[in-house]
């Protein structure tokens, strides 16, 4: 799928910052692609972009109306249909990352067809994929992997892409989740692929390329998470990564959503991912550690990263607070 910018980010009546991660990701990493945000009465959060209406955004050239919010169960409430229809009528495609599909709602499908606009359910890939082959592909690849879910793999990937581009490296961010797809304009929601085809879909996502080209592949889940390790290992094998960056959130005590579980160490995470990755790339290396240190002060975060860097002889940074130049400087010398 190809999503056309610029975007109008619709955040509805959201009251939780985490619930607008779709919109916030686009606003943080691709603000130049966004006309602004739109909310309704009751909304208490913001992406920081200018508030605008559908009509104003259309007059400024908006091409895509983005449902930038999420809720429990990924439900598309009927109360939002009116806004979606208005956007379609004013010449915008509509993007949703919810579990409920736009294309399952006859009224929305009819309006989209009438106005020759597209409905993108980016969490539901409609391409046909083959099983993975494990055949070595040209070009270079980095995959972000984590001690847990929601530890900053997408933000780390995008920070790496930004840093590499600033240093003149030929690089592309390859999105594997709905937020990343919106930011990149294309990609595959890997957690919605039938399990037999995850590695094959990842191979398609990052095809043969020039020898010095890098693909930064957005990681998903964690090999240590009982619920999501299946997605993580298929992505790992299909990526055939030359390099891994370990992502971690400071002060986690158990796997996300599973209070009965133990949290893996950085050392165990490195060993587990390297062992699995060697199936399709025996020469894979860990090139850095990225830590979300937002739970502590800046100084405490720097102290923690310095300790990990010394312990593992790897650059360790908080991608949001510090950027990822230190990791990229190691990476480009591989």
Phi, psi for residue 284 in degrees, rounded to 5: -60, 145
Matching residue, tokens 């915008």: 92
16 and 115, same domain (yes or no)? yes
Question: Residue-wise over 73-88: b if at least 16 C-beta within 10 A, else e?
Answer: eeebeeebeebbbbbb
* pLDDT score at 72: 73
* pLDDT score at 250: 96
Element (H, E) at 321: helix 319-322
pTM for this predicted structure? 0.89
Query: How far apart are the C-alpha atoms of 200 and 221, rounded to whole Å?
Result: 18
Of 59, 90, 121, the position where a domain reaches its end is 121
Q: Is residue 211 part of a domain?
A: yes
168 and 246, same domain (yes or no)? yes
Of 67, 93, 121, the position where a domain reaches its end is 121
What's 145's domain CATH number? 3.40.50.300
* pLDDT score at 166: 96
**CA Rg value for the chain:** 20
115 and 164, same domain (yes or no)? no
Q: How many CB atoms lie within 10 A of CB 201?
A: 25
Of 60, 93, 121, the position where a domain reaches its end is 121
Domain hosting 102: range is 7-121
177 and 75, same domain (yes or no)? no
Q: Look at the chain and report how many structural domains it folds into.
A: 2
Q: Which residues of the chain have pLDDT under 70?
A: 1
Q: Is residue 248 part of a domain?
A: yes
* pLDDT score at 332: 85
Q: How many CB atoms lie within 10 A of CB 157?
A: 30
Query: How far apart are the C-alpha atoms of 141 and 271, rounded to whole Å?
Result: 19
90 and 195, same domain (yes or no)? no
* pLDDT score at 1: 65
36 and 101, same domain (yes or no)? yes
207 and 303, same domain (yes or no)? yes
What's 57's domain CATH number? 3.40.50.720
89 and 183, same domain (yes or no)? no
150 CB burial (10 A radius; 0-12, 13-18, 19+): middle
Question: Residue-wise over 234-245: b if at least 16 C-beta within 10 A, else e?
Answer: bbbbbbbbbbbb
88 and 52, same domain (yes or no)? yes
301 and 189, same domain (yes or no)? yes
111 and 148, same domain (yes or no)? no
* pLDDT score at 12: 96
């Amino acid at each position: 799928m190809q999503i056309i910018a610029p975007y109008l980010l619709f955040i509805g009546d959201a009251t939780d910052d985490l619930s607008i991660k779709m919109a916030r990701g686009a606003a943080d990493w691709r603000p130049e692609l966004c006309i602004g945000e739109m909310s309704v009465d009751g909304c208490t959060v913001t992406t920081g972009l200018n508030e605008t209406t559908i009509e104003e955004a259309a007059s400024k050239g908006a091409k895509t109306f983005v449902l930038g919010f999420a809720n429990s169960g990924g439900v598309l409430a009927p109360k939002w249909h009116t806004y979606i229809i208005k956007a379609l009528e004013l010449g915008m495609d509509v993007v949703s990352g919810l579990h409920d599909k736009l294309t399952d709602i006859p009224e929305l499908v009819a309006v989209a067809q009438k106005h020759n606009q597209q409905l993108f359910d980016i969490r539901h890939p409609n391409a046909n994929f083959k099983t993975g082959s494990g055949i070595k592909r040209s070009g270079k690849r980095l995959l972000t992997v984590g001690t847990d879910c929601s530890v900053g793999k997408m933000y780390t990937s995008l920070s790496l892409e930004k840093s590499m581009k600033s240093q003149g490296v030929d690089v592309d961010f390859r999105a594997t989740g709905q937020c990343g797809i919106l930011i990149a304009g294309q990609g595959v929601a890997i957690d919605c692929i039938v399990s037999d085809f995850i590695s094959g879909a990842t191979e398609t996502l990052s095809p043969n390329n020039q020898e010095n080209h890098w693909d930064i592949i957005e990681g998903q889940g964690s090999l240590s998470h009982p619920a999501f390790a299946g997605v993580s290992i298929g992505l790992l094998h299909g990526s055939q990564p030359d390099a891994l960056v370990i992502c971690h959130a400071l002060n986690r005590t158990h796997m996300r959503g599973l209070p009965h579980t133990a949290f893996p160490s950085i050392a165990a995470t490195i060993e587990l991912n390297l062992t699995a990755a060697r199936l399709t790339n025996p020469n894979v290396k860990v090139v850095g550690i990225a830590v979300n240190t937002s739970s502590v002060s800046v100084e405490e975060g720097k102290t923690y990263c310095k300790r990990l860097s010394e312990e593992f002889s790897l650059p360790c940074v908080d991608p949001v607070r510090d950027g990822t130049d230190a990791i990229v400087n190691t990476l480009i010398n591989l």
